[in-house]
Amino acid sequence: MSAGKNTAAPTGGNDSHKPSNFIKNIIDEDLKNGKNDSRVHTRFPPEPNGYLHIGHAKSICLNFGLAQEYNGLCNLRFDDTNPVKEEDEYVNAIIEDVKWLGFDWQERLYFASDYFEKMYEFAIELIKKGKAYVEDLNAEEIRQYRGTLTKPGKASPSRNRNIAENLDLFERMRKGEFPDGAKVLRAKIDMSSGNMNMRDPVMYRILHASHHRTGDKWAIYPMYDWAHGLEDSIESITHSICTLEFEDHRPLYDWFLDNLEDVHHPRQIEFARLNLTYTVMSKRKLLRLVAEKHVSGWDDPRMPTIAGMRRRGIPPAAIRDFCNRIGVAKADSMVDRAMFDSCIREELNKKAQRVMVVLDPVKVVITNYPEDKVEDLPAENNPEDENAGSRMLPFSREIYIEREDFREEAPKKFFRMVPGREVRLKHAYYVKCTDFVKDETGEITEIHYEYDPATRGGWSDDGRKVKGTLHWVSAMHALDIEVRLYDHLFSKENPDDSRDETDFIEYLNPKSLVALKNCKAEPGLRECKQGERFQFLRKGYFCSDNLDFTAGKPVFNRIVALRDTWKKMQQK
């Protein structure tokens, strides 16, 4: 029994779940030891060669989140050291995505390419110290000399070239005197190291390529290992957070910074990247889905890209909440998509206006309701938010209900409409099914109800109880809309499994997109604009599409379905 030291900390706030993690422990320790003048300064360093996905969101939330928590700063920095892969289109998309996620780097938008000159100077420093040399061997030869995982490498003939010659050659590399691949600059470290990264790694390669920012100014471009630590150092980063595969690059990260005079030396920390069930996360695979047209583009609502999630209608707050909940650790993991869905529902339950939409309509005639009568019934907009107000709903003799809400004969526990039974039409009346009509194929074409005028608003105070409550839409007022139901992109939990020989494309879920073109919505939805989120009562959360939605042809995407215990019961 714990004493009442329960400090306010409401659990409702979406950004409030912030479990402890090993990175915070490291930062706490560093702070305690007075490192970095008690500063915390992180960065999110994407390469502008593709679109951001939920895995990047984890890193973004981590880096910006840490900065917020420790009253520090977080930079947005483009790691644009490879001109042949990088484009402005990507930097713009990335900027938009990070902003949309809700983070602010203020004026600290940086580019690695802005540091090329400084990096060049640092390289000269290393050459002068005899710690870097120009290599004549070609790529294939370098590989030969490097050895293997179990065999040490051997020294290249270029390794003991004198400093003056190295300086001269490196300068001529910069001037563009040599063709691509003719030479590289290498760090002189240890050709027999157990860590392959330390076997004289390449620092610069010759690339006569036009860079998206520096144009044709450079003929040589720095490699990641050489560049990244310098970028961090120049920006006075305190904690350089990256993913696990860079763990064995850390000795090199440290070596470069240790062998330069008077440079700030950040601490690199590695964490496990995010994997999510029923999707793939690698840039290569995502690119293939787009290139082979398995999806409509990078922003297809089924894609795990930020752009895709935005178009799907997933609120940024839900993504942030998710990233906080999954935590940060070093163990490889695969997070259940259900956890993400839960975060999305939690956010939307509080915020989304309720609206009635019949996805699979069947006509109902209320036989004792006057032919030409129409009445407006009030309906609350969100029972979870008393400030959400209410709206008026037109009710008339003919309405639509969901086909699945009627059965000729009731299975066990089915408490929707069956002949003879009384149910409630949400916000309207109690109705009793008196009859139904079938066509020659046996399909039900029309259902007859009788309503009880005394139950206006959907309530009776005579103690009478109804078990079921159905959503409906007045036929003559209904707005025709298209609804796109999205489901997992893949039908296999881990389509990415490296031990599986099957091409991941084979696991694509054929039902990941089901378009319903004949849905009936309450008339208020006529006022809807692009990108608005709703709860379609009893069905799920939906968002008007950002691209295909027009007033003449309203299109809604299903963000996520509501929890459905009835469906669950049936499946058992």
Partner RNA sequence: UGGGGCGUCGCCAAGUUGGCAAGGCACAGGAUUUUGGUUCCUGCAUUCGGAGGUUCGAGUCCUCCCGCCUCAGCCA
Q: Mask of contacts with RNA, 550-569, x by CB under 7 A? A: ------------xxxxx-xx
Residue 181 Cβ vs RNA, minimum distance, rounded to whole Å: 4
CB-nearer residue toward RNA: 270 or 300: 270
CB-nearer residue toward RNA: 330 or 492: 330
Work out whether 487 is an interface residue with RNA (CB under 7 A).
Answer: no
CA atoms within 13 A on the CB side of 196: 12
Considering CB under 7 A, how many residues would be counted as binding RNA? 96
Of 24, 35, 283, 421, the active-site residue reads: 283
Work out whether 13 is an interface residue with RNA (CB under 7 A).
Answer: no
Is the separation of the CB atoms in 399 and 408 below 8 Å? no
Residue 363 is among the residues annotated as catalytic for this protein: no
CA atoms within 13 A on the CB side of 302: 26
Helix (H) or strand (E) holding 541: strand 540-544
Residue 136 Cβ vs RNA, minimum distance, rounded to whole Å: 8
Q: Considering only residues 67, 184, 303, 319, which one is a binding residue for RNA as defined by CB under 7 A?
A: 184
Query: Hey, which residues between 33 and 62 contact RNA (CB under 7 A)?
Result: 47
Sequential DSSP letters for 240-267: EEEEGGGGGGHHHHHHHHHTSTT----E
Residue 551 Cβ vs RNA, minimum distance, rounded to whole Å: 26
Query: Hey, which residues between 493 and 532 contact RNA (CB under 7 A)?
Result: 498-499
Q: Considering only residues 102, 419, 468, 523, which one is a binding residue for RNA as defined by CB under 7 A?
A: 468
Is the separation of the CB atoms in 42 and 238 below 8 Å? yes
DSSP helix, strand, coil percent of the chain (3-state; round to 5): 35, 25, 45
Work out the angle between the directed axes of helices 116-128 and 224-234 (0-180°, nearest 10): 110
Of 39, 85, 146, 273, the active-site residue reads: 273
Helix (H) or strand (E) holding 347: helix 337-351
> SS3 of 140, please?
helix
Work out whether 427 is an interface residue with RNA (CB under 7 A).
Answer: yes
Query: Hey, which residues between 275 and 334 contact RNA (CB under 7 A)?
Result: 325-334
Residue 47 is among the residues annotated as catalytic for this protein: yes
Sequential DSSP letters for 124-135: HHHHHTT-EEEE
CB-nearer residue toward RNA: 104 or 564: 564
Residue 524 Cβ vs RNA, minimum distance, rounded to whole Å: 16
Query: Hey, which residues between 206 and 265 contact RNA (CB under 7 A)?
Result: 206-207, 221-225, 227-228, 244-249
Task: Report the distance separating Cα 357 and Cα 354, nearest Å.
Answer: 10
Work out whether 29 is an interface residue with RNA (CB under 7 A).
Answer: no
Of 43, 47, 188, 270, the active-site residue reads: 47
Work out whether 142 is an interface residue with RNA (CB under 7 A).
Answer: yes
Is the separation of the CB atoms in 313 and 557 below 8 Å? yes
Query: Hey, which residues between 362 and 381 contact RNA (CB under 7 A)?
Result: none
CB-nearer residue toward RNA: 148 or 387: 148
Q: Considering only residues 138, 210, 367, 550, which one is a binding residue for RNA as defined by CB under 7 A?
A: 138
Is the separation of the CB atoms in 14 and 320 below 8 Å? yes
Task: Report the distance separating Cα 253 and Cα 264, nearest Å.
Answer: 12
Q: Considering only residues 384, 446, 452, 482, which one is a binding residue for RNA as defined by CB under 7 A?
A: 384
Q: Considering only residues 100, 394, 538, 548, which one is a binding residue for RNA as defined by CB under 7 A?
A: 538
CB-nearer residue toward RNA: 458 or 523: 458
Task: Report the distance separating Cα 312 and Cα 563, nearest Å.
Answer: 18
Residue 322 Cβ vs RNA, minimum distance, rounded to whole Å: 9
Q: Considering only residues 117, 165, 168, 180, which one is a binding residue for RNA as defined by CB under 7 A?
A: 180
The neighbour count for residue 69, using CB atoms within 10 Å, is 12
> SS3 of 489, please?
coil
Residue 359 Cβ vs RNA, minimum distance, rounded to whole Å: 13
Work out whether 194 is an interface residue with RNA (CB under 7 A).
Answer: yes
Q: Considering only residues 63, 279, 535, 544, which one is a binding residue for RNA as defined by CB under 7 A?
A: 535
Tokens read off for 376: 């407006």
The neighbour count for residue 511, using CB atoms within 10 Å, is 10
Residue 558 Cβ vs RNA, minimum distance, rounded to whole Å: 14
Choose one: 143-151, 257-265, 363-371, 522-530; the region binding RNA (CB under 7 A): 143-151
Residue 283 is among the residues annotated as catalytic for this protein: yes
Residue 303 Cβ vs RNA, minimum distance, rounded to whole Å: 20
Work out whether 155 is an interface residue with RNA (CB under 7 A).
Answer: no
Task: Report the distance separating Cα 378 and Cα 388, nearest Å.
Answer: 13
Query: Hey, which residues between 332 and 351 contact RNA (CB under 7 A)?
Result: 332-336, 338-339, 341-342, 345-346, 349
Choose one: 100-108, 133-141, 360-368, 551-559; the region binding RNA (CB under 7 A): 133-141
Work out whether 480 is an interface residue with RNA (CB under 7 A).
Answer: no
Work out whether 457 is an interface residue with RNA (CB under 7 A).
Answer: yes
Tokens read off for 189: 């470290």
CB-nearer residue toward RNA: 41 or 58: 58
Nearest to 244 by CA among 149, 333, 335, 330: 330
Residue 572 Cβ vs RNA, minimum distance, rounded to whole Å: 7
The 3 state secondary structure assigned to 275-289 is CECCCCCCHHHHHHH
Instruction: Say which residues have a Cβ less than 8 Å from residue 157's Cβ, sequence separation at least 6.
Output: 136, 137
Beta strands in 343-455 (DSSP E): 353-355, 357-358, 361-366, 374-380, 390-396, 398-402, 422-425, 430-438, 444-452
Is the separation of the CB atoms in 271 and 58 below 8 Å? no
Choose one: 59-67, 99-107, 146-154, 547-555; the region binding RNA (CB under 7 A): 146-154
Active site positions, annotated = 47, 273, 283
